[in-house]
Amino acid sequence: MPNNTYHSAFNKNAATPICSAAMLPLKTKSKGPAPACPAKEDDIVDEIVRYWRVNVLFKNFEPEGPADLVLAYGTVMVGEVIRECIKYKTKQEATKGIQTLSMSTNFKVPGEDNFPLPGFFKAPANKQEADNFRAYFRQLREEIGARVVEAIYDANGKNKWWFQFSKRRFMNIEKT
């Protein structure tokens, strides 16, 4: 069966490498090392949210570049956010709950036991690279959490179109 997963348009962009991934620009107000992305342009989080419902259906993913690693990590994170939001009835409750999840600095980095995508990312060469990875991906997680909550709640509450995919796991990975 051919792999029809979507890949990032940012694979060819020049970006600071971090554990074989790319530190891509973000449209965010969160503090962190990510370069700023112009408000009118798409960023990697836009791609992650846009492609999530398609990519989550696949059990395999062949990265074509460093931005695809960010896309894969973000895809796992979106699923985690949606599964967390199941217990919240309102957008306001979800926003508070997801902030705790996304702003945590206590998540695994490449090379640590139980990192969700072993073999995709290189282990950090030193403590500085590990700290940069944690800072960038914390900022990415925070932005993903905020945008996913915006996407999955509408004026009537939960958008069933998103929640019907809550049991799907990208490459059978549950947590970032």
Q: Domain spans of the chain?
A: 33-172
The CATH fold assigned to 33-172 is Arp2/3 complex 21 kDa subunit ARPC3 (1.10.1760)
Using alpha carbons, select from 85, 52, 96 the residue that is nearest to residue 159: 85
Instruction: Identify the sign of the CA torsion 156, 96, 36, 175.
Output: negative
Q: Cα 96 vs. chain centroid, distance in angstroms? A: 18
Instruction: Identify the sign of the CA torsion 93, 52, 58, 10.
Output: negative
pTM for this model (two decimals):
0.92
pLDDT tens column, 118-139: 899 999 999 999 999 999 999 9
Please give the pLDDT value at position 2: 45
Q: If you average pLDDT over every residue of the chain, what do you get?
A: 91
Could you tell me the CA-to-CA distances from 94 to 5, 101, 127 in Å, in that order? 29, 11, 34
State both tokens at 1.
């069966």
pLDDT tens column, 73-117: 999 999 999 999 999 989 999 999 998 888 887 889 999 999 999
